[in-house]
Amino acid sequence: MSTNAKQRERREAAEKSLLDLIARFESEETAIEVNFRNLVNSEGGGGKSAHAIHPYPAKLLVNIPQFFLAALPPLTGSVLLDPFCGSGTVLYEGALAGLRLVGSDSNPLARLITKAKLTPLDREEARSHLEHVMAVYPLLPPTIPDVVNRDYWFSERISEGLGRLKTAIERNVPSKYRPVFDVSFSATVRRVSYADPRLSVPVKINPDRSAKYGAKGDEVIRRLARLAEIDVGAVFWSIASQNIQRCPEKGQWFVPGQPEIFSDARSLGIAEASVSLAITSPPYVGAQKYVRASGLSLGWLGLTPNCKLRPIEQQSIGREHLAADETLEPSGTGVAEADRLLEEIAERNPLRARIAQRYLLEMRDALSELSRTMCHDGSLVLVVGPNLVAGLEFPTPSYLQKMAESLGFATQLHLIDSIDSRGLMTKRNRTAGMIQQESVFLLKRVRTIA
């Protein structure tokens, strides 16, 4: 069977599945449990695809955008938006479909990974630049930025090796190849650090706690011994070589116009009613430490102002550190059920109530901007899960659904999918709980809000 025939068959199967799910949802009037891994077999989610160029916490399951891009095929050249694009899973799949791409993320590392995924390469030329970097880096002086607690996370020998690589990349790699080289350097940073490789947020390996590491504890401890002898350049060469092969090749696809990647989902620099399809998974309240998880890379890439992560975190929705003036808004969130729950949370933990309310207020702003940019009858796929706040169940999916409906969207479908990967199951606060399932809403933009 030809590639075009396979794609047509896949689209037809996805379209039928979606219509069946919508009909069932309308009949049963309750969320439907599905398994997206069964709905669509992922093509491109493995280690050989661009999705594997850099680790990133809480990556969206690639089957979800693949299913909806097949079931809701927008016209080639129309706009696909992901206002919380993370490491670019949705946008990369949209590029494969030939769509114009608009994304946003507050984390500079996420924007860099996304840009690398969406930058077609002349692979032969990229390998030539890699060979040159490998030839000259041992001879160059190290460029070592102000990395937070650098001596805690890296030996001096490894820091010097990373610094020489940084100098070589900055001096010898042309700008159009910098994204894939910088992403490969970032992945190298984490690989040669003292951080436990099993955890998204950096936690230093401690030999005295090996008994608590479980079945793979011995392997984690052996990692420390390997770091004493590890060749930083060889690690970088291996990662960069694989990433050059994983990234799209020049001429592999045609995406009309350059992808537009912004830093704030609440302020997208695109025209009103210009988006036909949006697929996104917003951050979770009290569930993930996205900026801290990126801290080592951000430091070595020179992206932490004054050697501090807080300025980046302050731009993030779902953050756990608030300014003193970010108090509880007496007018509430606009969702009565949420306001009642926030009052109960405030009695247990006033700070957690402030954090949760600020999250909902900022998500309302982001959904309002999303509503502004979407055309009439445009489709929004919203992927979000519940968790606990101060030990109480916090039904984020229901709250965001109500907000979206108040901003001009109508719910066509509500699916629930279990989360097998532990990438989303990281505690932020001891009362935050684990995210074990997520809701997937299909909403249609049906009316304009004055």
Q: What is the spatial distance between Cα 118 and Cα 170, in angstroms, rounded to a whole number?
A: 21
Best CA proximity match to 418, nearest among 439, 389, 401, 397: 439
As to burial, measured by CB atoms within 10 angstroms (0-12 exposed, 13-18 middle, 19+ buried), residue 257 is exposed
* 365 domain-assigned: yes
Asked if residue 227 belongs to a domain, the reply is: no
Q: Are 85 and 114 in contact (CB under 8 A)?
A: yes
Q: Which of 45, 57, 19, 9 is nearest to 427 (CA)?
A: 57
Domain boundaries, position 22? 3-118+255-445
pLDDT at residue number 423: 47
Angle between helices 123-136 and 178-191 (to 10 degrees): 50
**How many angstroms separate the CA atoms of 70 and 11, rounded?**
5
Residue 329 · residue 357 · CB < 8 Å:
yes
pTM of the model: 0.92
Is 402 within a domain? yes
Total Cβ atoms within 10 A of residue 272:
11
CA distance 432 to 385: 12
pLDDT of residue 429: 46
Q: Return d(Cα 432, Cα 438) in angstroms, integer.
A: 15
Residue 126 · residue 103 · CB < 8 Å: no
Residue 393 φ then ψ, to 5° = -65, 130
Total residues found in the chain within this entry:
450
> What pLDDT score does 44 carry?
55
Q: H or E stretch including 76?
A: none
3-state SS record for 326-394 = CCCCCCCCCCHHHHHHHHHHHHHCHHHHHHHHHHHHHHHHHHHHHHHHEEEEEEEEEEECCEEECCEEE
CATH number at residue 15: 3.40.50.150
Beta strand segments in 174-293, E:
260-262, 275-280
**3-class state of residue 34 by DSSP:** strand
Residues with Cβ < 8 Å from 157, sequence gap 6 or more?
A: none
Q: Is residue 145 part of a domain?
A: no
Nearest residue to 443 (alpha-carbon basis) of 386, 403, 392, 388: 403
The 10 Å Cβ neighbour count of residue 5 is 9
Cα dihedral across residues 121, 122, 123, 129: positive or negative: negative
Q: Please report, in tens digits, the pLDDT of each residue of the chain (450 residues total).
A: 566 777 788 889 999 999 999 999 999 999 999 999 988 877 655 555 899 999 998 889 999 999 999 999 777 789 999 999 999 999 999 999 999 999 999 999 999 999 999 999 999 999 999 999 999 999 999 999 989 899 999 999 999 999 999 999 999 999 999 999 999 999 999 999 999 888 888 888 887 776 666 666 677 778 888 999 999 999 999 999 999 999 999 887 777 788 999 999 999 999 999 999 999 999 988 655 778 889 999 999 999 877 788 888 888 998 888 888 888 999 999 999 999 999 999 999 999 999 999 999 999 999 999 999 999 999 999 999 988 999 999 999 999 999 999 999 999 999 999 876 444 444 444 444 455 789 999 999 997 765
Structural domain contains residue 238: no
pLDDT in the model for residue 345: 96
What is the end-to-end Cα distance of the chain in Å, rounded?
Answer: 51
Q: 83 vs 90, 117, 163, CA distance in Å? A: 10, 17, 34
pLDDT of residue 77: 80
Residue 305 to residues 73, 145, 147, Cα–Cα distance (Å): 41, 11, 10
Q: Give the number of other Cβ atoms within 10 Å of residue 309's Cβ.
A: 19
Closest CA to 432 of 394, 382, 375: 394
Tokens 């910088």 — which residue? 182
Rounded distance between C-alpha atoms, residue 86 and residue 107, angstroms: 8
For residue 370, being part of any structural domain is answered with yes
Residue 250 lies in a domain: no
Q: How many domains does the chain have?
A: 1
Asked if residue 222 is part of any domain, the answer here is no
Q: State residue 424's pLDDT score.
A: 40
Residues 353/329, Cβ–Cβ less than 8 Å: no
Which pair of tokens denotes residue 71?
A: 């079931």
**Residue-level pLDDT at 2:** 62
Strands 392-394 and 409-418: unpaired
d(CA 178, CA 193): 22
pLDDT at 435: 54
Across 31-45, b (16+ Cβ under 10 Å) vs e yields ebebebbebbebeeb
| Cβ atoms < 10 Å from Cβ of 156 | 10
Chain center to CA of 251: 26
pLDDT in tens, 116-140: 999 999 999 999 999 999 999 999 9
Q: For position 211, what pLDDT does the model report?
A: 64
Which candidate, 248, 87, 81, places its Cα nearest to that of 176? 248
Give CA angle at 400 (398, 405), nearest 5°.
95
